[in-house]
């Protein structure tokens, strides 16, 4: 006879059979759907109960009592005690029900943690009474037998294959300037289309400026372009590709992918004053045409692959750029562990999307539903990064090693001192976390702060002989230089390892930190591994790095990622080539730049993508040759005037004309600054904080946005340098669709909203720029009204005004009642569609 639940609603005098009758009456399917769902679903209703309350002791890791509740056969069979946990259809014989309801503390289940709730108990009774339906295939990650295994067939998916050797189609046409045109023309013709005429020199000049360097052509350039015979596109291409502004423009594209920000996010949203070193690395890398495979490897493991190269170390800021949460030192262990897994998840998800175009993050809780990525592969990648930590330290190797060694040693001393205190466990946690705001922290430091404090001298005295020797060594090597403005001497937010001891990572059932399963060693994606194992890459890595201070896992990953023959290299090449194509043509060859998996787009021109990827590798992974090919093609140089009707190719998949595009947020602001003559073209350095109104800067972060800003040259640098604070979105950037930097963004979605119009119409910084624009025209000794109008048009729209436009403009000027009519005209031009659209 089952003991009955004694809480609340059901009186203890009701007999078992009455209870079951009650249960059946309530839960028969004739109950109206409005009241409650009459049909229990194992995966939805029952399994979560087992997972939450039972799986730790009766599951994959342990089988207390000799049975498992994550396995149907085991749950329905006799356990060690001789009774059967679950007898389908017979709740009164099911030992599980007896145990969860028992009042005998030597028997009740679960022995620790909360008892099952009223509702859960009812669910189990009813489920067993209705014959305990338990489907064959539950969620793959909860049933070890049906875990996804990667097959040879999976390796045949188009984006996972090695690069095919493709020859451009042979077509007889003088429209073909390079192989890109051959592939494109071939497809166009197959679809009954022909190319559009070439763009005018004015149009092409403006387009190339914005696409390549993100800035408008200056007035002199525009005037030159007005005479087509003076305009040479190829010369312009070379000039733009070698401009220092090229790196800035393309860095901003990459920062979208890298989910870059200058602050932590979440509640405290502390600033990251040294995160900018990563951004500068990216600018430099693109300007110097750092081979892309190096670009990849340095961002993953530059700190250990090239510890002597400051840029390579700064590159690891890629891993640290994501949001970072914090919590009370005394928060439950699962909360703290959860935060660490979230941090690693951000790194793994971003790495896979950025370089592989794969949504590995989906496999955090279960095998990927579409791509051949088992959840085990996800946890292998987590394990690969698990022993790495973010650090704020020096880019100079010797100083970094000294700095990190000191930090570790001082921490050891601190923990020793705390251990020697007569304090509670909670107080110890607060002290170990360093001084903070919560009252508990303050109280702990009031009581014990003095006892755990130590100065530099005391620390040195505490060091054992070996330690003192080591410190001496490190300090000698570091050979202090006087601080200069040299960026290499400024600290950076970087990622590195402090020892070669691997961190333990367990596969988490359903991604739940409360359900750790098997230990998982580091590794990579099975579906992108051909003939080389993790150990192979790991050995190669250990040959190159200092294995005494690092597990070498990240270096191994870096090598696998860029291995063309046996690793992920082919996919990495395809993904980056596609990103470049996307930024020139508004759509990639694969229109989902961050998804090259089953759910992603199919390439519109697969042969072209192969050829370009191979070309990248042939050019030692340098990107500028790809830019050059695109810019040199006639495909790129078409006008925005279609030949033929739109119906033949409504989305322009076959690239038979140039689709106009709206400037992205940074380019809008940069173009306004450039036109106004205010643009400060200085590169690099700490992020800037231009003016935003007080009402836009409410934040809980103690790192506030300054309120007393009077804008000047330092604020008029390119928008790329604006401080990206997660809790304070810069209004103008947000208005023009800058992405949320929480996650990798492969493709911005431009929208057209009144807030954009309001910004251009009324924003005081924009108005100021319009006035500056007018002043700048006048300061170039342009005093004749017609000439002023012409200058304003050239600097904003990149072309001279037509006669009608000149008349309209002069009319506007004459009607103006303000103190600076020319500013009104300049302001108007900034608001025109033509200003923000590039043909």
Is 323 near other proteins (CB under 8 A)?
yes
Dihedral (Cα; 177, 180, 186, 191), 10-degree rounding: -120
Report the nearest approach of other proteins to the CB of residue 746 (Å): 9
Q: Of the listed pieces 198-206, 411-419, 671-679, 731-739, which binds other proteins according to CB under 8 A?
A: 731-739
CB of 36 to other proteins, least distance (A): 8
- For the record, the structure tokens of 115 come out as 């008892």
Q: Whole-number minimum distance, CB 430 to other proteins, in Å?
A: 8
- What residues numbered 424-443 form the site for other proteins, per CB under 8 A? 424, 426, 429-430, 438-440
CA–CA distance, 282 with 292 (Å, rounded to integer):
11
Residue 750 tokens read as 């431009």
Residue 310 vs 338, nearer CB to other proteins: 338
Give the burial class of 527: count Cβ atoms within 10 A of its Cβ; 0-12 exposed, 13-18 middle, 19 or more buried: buried
Q: Where are the beta strands (DSSP E) in 455-607?
A: 492-496, 506-508, 516-519
Interface characters, 614-643, with other proteins (x: CB under 8 A): --------------------------xxx-
Please, which residue, 342 or 714, has the CB nearer to other proteins? 342
In the complex, the smallest distance separating the C-beta of residue 520 from other proteins, rounded to whole angstroms, is 22
- Selected from 342, 392, 615, 714, the binder of other proteins by CB under 8 A is 342
Query: Residue 618 CB, nearest distance to other proteins (Å)?
Result: 31
Q: In 150-186, which positions are buried (b, 16+ CB within 10 angstroms) versus exposed (e)?
A: beeeebeeebbeebeebebbeeeeebbbebbbbbbbb
* Shortest distance in whole angstroms from residue 595 CB to other proteins: 5
**Cβ atoms within 10 Å, residue 700:** 9
Binding residue for other proteins, selected from 10, 57, 166, 327, defined by CB under 8 A: 327
Residue 668 to residue 659: CA distance in whole angstroms: 18
One character per residue 102-121, x = contact with other proteins (rule: CB under 8 A): ------------x--xxx--
Q: How far is the CB of 716 from other proteins (least distance, A)?
A: 18
Give whichever of 324 and 395 is closer to other proteins, judged by the CB atom: 324
- Axis-axis angle for helices 219-226, 201-208 (nearest 10): 150
Does residue 523 touch other proteins according to CB under 8 A?
Answer: no
Q: In Å, how far from its chain's centre is CA 756?
A: 26
Q: Is 817 in the site for other proteins (CB under 8 A)?
A: yes
CA atoms within 13 A on the CB side of 418: 20
> Residues 674, 794: contact at Cβ < 8 Å?
no
Please state the closest distance from residue 35 (CB atom) to other proteins, in A: 7
Residue 819 within binding range of other proteins, rule CB under 8 A: yes
Among 419, 598, 713, 787, binds other proteins (CB under 8 A): 598
Q: Could you give the residue ranges of the DSSP H alpha helices within 532-600?
A: 534-544, 553-561, 569-585
Query: Is residue 816 near other proteins by the rule CB under 8 A?
Result: yes
Paired residues of 662 in beta bridges: 837
Tokens of 660: 């106009």
Contact call for residue 734 and other proteins (CB under 8 A): yes
Question: Which tokens is 103 given?
Answer: 């009042």
Name residues contacting other proteins, limited to 738-797 (CB under 8 A).
Answer: 740, 742-743, 749-759, 761-764, 767, 771
837-838 vs 661-662, strand pairing mode:
antiparallel
Q: Indicate left, alpha or beta for 176 from its phi (over 0: left) and psi (-120 to 50: alpha).
A: beta
Q: Please, which contacts does 84-87 make with residues 24 or more away whose CB atoms are closer than 8 Å?
A: 86/128, 86/132, 87/128
The DSSP element (H or E) to which 837 belongs, if any, is strand 837-838
Among 718, 726, 794, 799, binds other proteins (CB under 8 A): 726
DSSP 107: T
Of 345 and 497, the one with the shorter C-beta distance to other proteins is 345
Residue 702: CB minimum distance to other proteins, A: 11
- Neighbouring CB atoms inside 10 A of 595's CB total 22
End-to-end Cα distance, the chain: 82
Nearer CB in complex with other proteins: 38/625: 38
For the bound state, the minimum distance from the C-beta of residue 123 to other proteins, rounded and expressed in Å, comes to 12
The yes or no reply on residue 837 touching other proteins (CB under 8 A) is yes
Residue listed under structure tokens 């401080």: 723
Q: How many residues bind other proteins (CB under 8 A)?
A: 104
Site for other proteins in 654-673 (CB under 8 A): 659-660, 662
Residue from 1, 11, 35, 152 touching other proteins (CB under 8 A): that is 35
3-class DSSP string for 714-733: HHCECHHHECCECCECCHHH
Least distance in angstroms from the C-beta of 531 to other proteins = 28
Least distance CB 48 / other proteins (angstroms)? 10
| Contacts to other proteins from residues 37-96, by CB under 8 A | 37
Nearest CA among 762, 694, 671, 681 for reference residue 721: 681
Residue of 328, 432, 474, 542 that binds other proteins (CB under 8 A):
328
**C-alpha–C-alpha distance, residues 241 and 211, integer Å:** 11
Which residues inside 365-404 make contact with other proteins, applying CB under 8 A? Answer: 369-370
Phi/psi for 392 (5° steps) reads -105, 105
696 scored as a contact of other proteins (CB under 8 A): yes
- Minimum CB separation of residue 725 from other proteins in Å reads 9
Q: With CB under 8 A as the contact rule, which of the stretches 196-204, 208-216, 233-241, 695-703 interacts with other proteins? A: 695-703
265 lies in the site for other proteins, by CB under 8 A: yes
In which region does residue 74 sit, left (phi positive, over 0), alpha (psi from -120 to 50) or beta (all else)?
A: alpha
**26 lines the binding site for other proteins (CB under 8 A):** no
Q: Which of 141, 394, 550, 727 binds other proteins (CB under 8 A)?
A: 727
Each residue 210-249 as x (binds other proteins by CB under 8 A) or -, in order, gives ----------------------------------------
Tell me the closest approach of the beta carbon of residue 740 to other proteins, in angstroms. 6
Helix (H, G, I), strand (E, B) or coil at 391: strand
Question: Min. distance of Cβ 337 from other proteins in angstroms?
Answer: 13
**Contact between 266 and other proteins (CB under 8 A)?**
yes
Binding flag, residue 690, other proteins (CB under 8 A): no
Q: Is 713 in the site for other proteins (CB under 8 A)?
A: no
Binding mask 437-476 for other proteins (x = CB under 8 A): -xxx------------------------------------
Residues 6+ apart with CB under 8 A from 56: 62, 515
Q: Which is nearer to other proteins, 82 or 114 (CB)?
A: 114
Name residue 838's beta-bridge partners. Answer: 661
Q: Is 350 in the site for other proteins (CB under 8 A)?
A: no
Instruction: Determine contact, residues 248/281, Cβ cutoff 8 Å.
Output: no
- Choice from 196, 306, 551, 594 touching other proteins (CB under 8 A): 594
Our measurement of the distance from residue 588's CA atom to the centroid of its chain's CA atoms, rounded to an integer in Å, reads: 19
């Amino acid at each position: 006879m089952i003991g009955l639940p004694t809480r609340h609603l059901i009186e203890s005098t009701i007999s078992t059979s009455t209870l079951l009758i009650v249960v059946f009456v309530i839960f028969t399917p004739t109950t109206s759907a409005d009241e409650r769902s009459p049909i229990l679903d194992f995966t939805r209703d029952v399994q979560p109960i087992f997972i939450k309350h039972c799986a730790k002791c009766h599951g994959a890791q342990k089988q207390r009592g000799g049975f498992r509740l994550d396995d149907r056969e085991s749950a329905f069979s006799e356990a060690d005690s001789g009774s059967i946990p679950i007898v389908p259809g017979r709740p009164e014989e099911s030992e599980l029900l007896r145990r969860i309801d028992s009042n005998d503390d030597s028997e009740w289940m679960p022995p620790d943690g909360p008892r099952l709730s009223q509702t859960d108990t009812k669910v189990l009774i009813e489920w067993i009474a209705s014959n305990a339906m338990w489907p064959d295939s539950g969620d793959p990650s909860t049933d070890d037998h049906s875990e996804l295994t990667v097959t040879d067939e999976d390796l045949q998916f188009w984006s996972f294959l090695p690069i095919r050797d493709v020859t451009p189609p042979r077509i007889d046409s003088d429209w073909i300037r390079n192989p890109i045109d051959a592939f494109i023309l071939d497809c166009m013709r197959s679809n009954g289309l022909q190319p559009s005429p070439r763009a005018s020199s004015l149009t092409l000049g403006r387009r190339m400026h914005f696409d390549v360097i993100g800035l408008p052509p200056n007035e002199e350039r525009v005037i030159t372009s007005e005479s087509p015979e003076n305009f040479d596109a190829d010369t312009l291409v070379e000039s733009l590709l070698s401009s220092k502004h090229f790196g800035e423009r393309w860095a901003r594209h990459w920062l979208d992918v890298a989910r870059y920000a200058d602050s932590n996010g979440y509640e405290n949203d502390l600033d990251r004053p040294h995160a900018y070193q990563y951004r500068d690395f990216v600018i430099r890398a693109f300007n110097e045409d750092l081979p892309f495979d190096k670009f990849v490897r340095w961002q993953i493991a530059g700190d250990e692959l090239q510890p002597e190269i400051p840029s390579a170390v700064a590159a690891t800021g890629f891993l640290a750029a994501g949001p970072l949460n914090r919590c009370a030192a005394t928060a439950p262990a699962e909360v703290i562990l959860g935060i660490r897994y979230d941090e690693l998840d951000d790194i793994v998800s971003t790495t896979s999307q950025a370089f592989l175009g794969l949504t590995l993050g989906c496999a955090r809780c279960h095998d990927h539903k579409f791509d051949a990525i088992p959840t085990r592969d996800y946890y292998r990648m987590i394990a690969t990064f698990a022993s790495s930590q973010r650090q704020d330290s020096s880019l100079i190797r010797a100083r970094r090693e000294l700095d990190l060694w000191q930090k570790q040693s001082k921490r050891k001393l601190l923990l020793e001192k705390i251990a020697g205190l007569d304090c509670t466990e909670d107080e110890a946690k607060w002290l170990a976390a360093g001084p903070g705001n919560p009252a508990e922290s303050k109280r702990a430091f009031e009581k014990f702060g003095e006892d755990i404090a130590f100065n530099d001298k005391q620390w040195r005295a505490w060091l054992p002989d070996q330690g003192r020797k080591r410190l001496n060594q490190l300090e000698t090597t570091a050979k202090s230089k006087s601080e200069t403005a040299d960026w290499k001497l400024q600290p950076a937010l970087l990622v590195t390892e402090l020892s070669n001891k691997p961190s333990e990572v367990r596969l988490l059932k359903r991604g739940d930190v409360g359900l750790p399963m098997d230990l998982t060693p580091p590794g990579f994606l099975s579906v992108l591994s051909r003939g080389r194992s993790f150990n192979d890459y790991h050995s190669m890595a250990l040959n190159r790095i200092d294995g005494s201070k690092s597990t070498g896992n990240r270096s191994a990953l870096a090598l696998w990622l860029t291995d063309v023959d046996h690793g992920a290299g082919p996919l990495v090449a395809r993904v980056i080539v596609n990103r470049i194509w996307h930024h020139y043509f508004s759509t990639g060859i694969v229109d989902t730049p961050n998804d090259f998996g089953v759910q992603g787009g199919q390439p519109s021109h697969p042969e072209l993508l192969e050829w370009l990827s191979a070309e990248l590798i042939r050019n030692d992974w340098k990107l500028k040759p790809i830019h050059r090919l695109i810019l040199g093609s006639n495909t790129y140089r078409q006008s925005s005037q279609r030949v033929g009707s739109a119906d033949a190719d409504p989305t322009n998949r076959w690239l038979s004309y140039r689709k106009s595009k709206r400037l992205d947020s940074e380019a809008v602001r940069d173009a306004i600054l450039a036109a106004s003559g205010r643009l400060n073209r200085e590169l690099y350095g700490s992020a800037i904080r231009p003016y935003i109104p007080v009402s836009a800067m409410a934040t809980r972060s103690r790192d506030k946005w300054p309120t007393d800003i009077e804008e000047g040259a330092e604020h008029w640098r390119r928008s790329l340098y604006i401080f990206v604070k997660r809790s304070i979105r810069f209004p103008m950037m947000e208005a023009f669709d800058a992405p949320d930097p929480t996650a990798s963004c492969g493709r911005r979605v431009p929208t057209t909203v009144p807030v954009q119009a309001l910004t251009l119409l009324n924003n005081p910084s924009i108005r100021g720029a319009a006035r500056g624009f007018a002043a700048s025209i006048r300061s170039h000794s342009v005093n004749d009204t017609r000439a002023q109008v012409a200058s304003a048009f050239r600097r904003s729209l990149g072309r001279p005004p037509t006669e009608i436009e000149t008349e309209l403009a002069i009319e506007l000027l004459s009607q103006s009642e303000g103190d600076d009519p020319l500013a009104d005209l300049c302001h108007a031009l900034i608001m025109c569609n033509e200003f923000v659209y590039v043909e």
